[in-house]
Structure 1
Amino acid sequence: MAATTFLDTPQGRRLAYHRTEGKGPWIVFLGGLKSDMEGTKAVHLEAWARAHGRAYLRFDYSGHGESSGRFEEGCIGDWHEDTLAAVTALTEGPIVPVGSSMGGWQALLLARAVPQRIAGMVTIAAAPDFTEDGYWARFSEEQKRRLLEHGRIELPSDYMEPYIVTMRMIESGRAHLVLRTPLALPFPVRCLQGTADTAVSTETALRLLDHADCPDMRLTLVKDADHRFSDGPCLGIIENAILDVLGEA
C-alpha cells in the first residue's frame, strides 16, 4: 500500500490522505465521526476506483486517524474547513462526495460551499444536524448543565469507545445546520440507509429527503443493514449508487 501523504491546511492543521489519479469526476470519501480513512468503506472504494481507473481521494479530518490534533479539540466547522482544504488542494474539476454518517453532513456542507463542483452525491446513513437533534435535544437537564459548566461530557457509543462531546462541538454544529434553512442540491443524490441502524434513524433519512430541494434524489432502505453499512452486499450498493449519480448504472 502506498505511504500516507500529508497536506498542511490554511488553518495550520496537517491532514493525512491517500490520492489515486484517474478519470474524473473525483470520488471523495468523507468518513464519519471518529472514523478514519482506513475504514472498510474508504479502503474498498479506493480499490474499486483504482480497478476502474477512477480518481479517488480519502483523508482523515483533523483529530482523526493520522491527521494532526486531538478529536475532542475538533468540531463540525473545523472538519468542514478540512474537507474544503482537501478538495481544493487535492482534486480538480467535478467531484462526487460519498459521505458516511457525519460525512453525510460534511457532504451537504460541501455542496453549499462549492455547488459548482458537485457532479453528484452519495450519502450513507447521513447524520445532518446530529449535534443538535441527536445530542443536545436528547441530553438530560443534568447533562446540559454539566456541558455548560464544564465544557464537555462523555457519551457511550454502540460502535466505538466512549467519546467526548464538547460545548464547542454543539455551538459549531449550530452554526452549520442544514435542515433548518433551504438546502439546494441541483445534482443527482442517492441516500443509503440501513433499517437496523441504531446510530442514525430512518426518520433522519426521510427528513433529509423531504427537506432538500433536489430534482433527482432517491433514498434506498436496506433491510437489516446496520450503521457500518460495510458488508459485501452493502459495499456493492454503494458502488452502484456512485455509478447511478454518474449516469453509468
Structure 2
Amino acid sequence: MNADAEKIPSPLIGILGDIFSEFYTHAEINRVFTYADAPGDPPDGNKIQKTVDWLRRVNKQSGAPLLVLGFLLEGILEKEPFDTADAAPWDQDEPEWSVKLRKDQERIHSMLGKVGLLYSIGGHIGVSSGTATATLREMIDAGGLGAIQIEMDRALKQVESDPNAAAHYAGNILEATLKAYLIKKCIPFNDQADTLNRLWELVRDSIGINPKDLESKDLKKIASGLNSIVDGTMYLRNKKSGAHGRTEEQFEANALRPRHARLVIHSAHTLAAYVLECLAEK
C-alpha cells in the first residue's frame, strides 16, 4: 500500500463529519478520537468541523491513519440495531434510533467500498482489492480448494515480516470460505454484521457437525476442536492483529510470533478445506 492509499480519503471524511455530529456529543467525539490515538487536542468549532479537522490532522500527523480510522468506526459499525426477536410481541416496530443507525452504517460501508476500503470486525480497515472477503469469496467460489491454497500461501509469505497481518488475513480467508458455503446453500446471513462465530454456527449446522448433535464421543471432541479453531481465529483477528495496546509493553503483549501466525494459518486452512469438501459432496 502506498503512502496516499494509507490516508483517509476525503469523501469519507466528509460523510463522517455529518454522521459523527449526529451520533456523538462533543465530549463523546473527544473520547472516541482519544481512544483511537488521534494526534493532538480537540480542534475548535462545531461537531462537524471538529470531526473533519481532526480526521485531516490524522492524515497529516498519524503514522497509521487507517488504523486510527478503524478504531473510530468501531463504535458505530459494531453497534447492534434493534432486533425484533428481543422485543415484546406488542413492540415490534423498529425505533427511530435503530433506523438511523442502519442508514449510517450503510452510508459508511458504501463509501468505504467506493474508495476501495473494507471494515472488518474488531476495528480493522483493509484495502478491498487485496483483502476484502467479497473478493476472496468470488475467488473461492470459482477456484475451490485451489483458491484457498493460493491465498493461504500468500498469508504464509507474511509470517516473518508481519505475523499479525498474516493471522488477520487467514481469518479473512476463513470468513470468505464460510460465506461462500452459505451463499451456495442459499442459507441467509448478515454479510456485514455476522461474526465469524455466527457464520461457523450456520455452516456447522448445515454440515451436521454440531457437537451437541453427535453421539460419538470422538467426533464430539473433533467437532469441539473445530469450534475452538473459529473462536481462536476470531479472537486473534479482532484483538491481537489490531494492536490495541497503547504502550510499548502492551504492544508487545499483543504481538504475535511467526510460529503463532503459522498455527492460525494452518488451522484456518484445515477448516476451510473441510468446508469446501463438504460443499462439493452435497
Q: Same fold (TM over 0.5)?
A: no
Structure showing the higher strand proportion among its residues: 1
TM-score, L = length of structure 2: 0.26
